[in-house]
Amino acid sequence: MKFGYCFVKNLSWGESSDSLRDKQRETEDFIRKNAQSLVEKAKGISRFYKVQGEKNRSHIESLIKSVSNGKSIKPVNPVVDSVVIAELRNALAMGIHDVDRIQGDIVLDVSDGGEEFVGIGNRTIITRPNEVVLRDRSSIWASYTQGPDDATVVDTITRNAMILGFFTPETLQETMVRGIQEAADLLLRTVQGEAKKPLIIP
């Protein structure tokens, strides 16, 4: 199992820019024109979710289908929106976390099941046996299939963040590197900051 990442630091927040809103609309058009190929790629993520015990299709497949049916991308904040745009354009499972809220080393792990952590919206998430997770010395802060925790969420206080790319057996490394780089480039056009080169582990 492997994942990709890219550190972005010294973020300086501002209002969501017109260029980001234009990119969202452009992405919606792109998805509608390329819906079939994007959905097929996203189904690869859903297949991995199923192996992990998830009954529902991946959120990426759901979002791509929703946009292709005329819905709009729901904005969150400029940093998160930049990552969402990149993951939808490339049909990848990605995320972004506040690095300064992660406690100690980052560990890619497999849960024995039955572990709990608090997800976004104060939702209790319980892991399944053999579920792929990311954890620190305190707790799990992301599940490949069930999403991020609430503690490392990116908001206007965030100054240093990590863009993540979650591999599945069907994910090509060059596709992941491209997606992470697109997210970083768009993010830095939206807010001020610096980005490292995307890396893949192992």
Q: How many domains does the chain have?
A: 1
Asked whether residue 120 is domain-assigned, the answer is no
Asked whether residue 15 is domain-assigned, the answer is yes
- Whole-prediction pTM value? 0.93
Asked whether residue 40 is domain-assigned, the answer is yes
Asked whether residue 57 is domain-assigned, the answer is yes
Asked whether residue 10 is domain-assigned, the answer is yes
Residue 84 contacts residue 28 (beta carbons within 8 Å) = no
In angstroms, the CA 140 to CA 158 distance is 19
Residue 2's pLDDT is: 87
* Tokens 């859903």, residue located: 46
Task: List the domain range (segments joined by +) for residue 9.
Answer: 3-102+152-201
First to last CA, the chain: 8
pLDDT at 14 over 80: no
Residue 43's pLDDT is: 97
Asked whether residue 115 is domain-assigned, the answer is no
Phi-psi region of 63 (alpha: psi -120 to 50; beta: other; left: phi over 0): alpha
pLDDT at 16 over 70: no
In angstroms, the CA 34 to CA 107 distance is 36
What percentage of the chain exceeds 90 in pLDDT?
88
Q: Which range has highest mean pLDDT (51-55, 165-169, 188-192)? A: 165-169
Phi-psi region of 121 (alpha: psi -120 to 50; beta: other; left: phi over 0): left
Q: Average pLDDT of 62-79? A: 95
Asked whether residue 31 is domain-assigned, the answer is yes
Q: What is the pLDDT of residues 90-148, one digit of tens each?
A: 999 999 999 999 999 999 999 999 999 999 999 999 999 999 999 999 999 999 999 99
Residue 42 is part of a domain; what is its CATH number? 3.50.40.10
3-state helix, strand, coil in the chain (%, to 5): 40, 25, 35
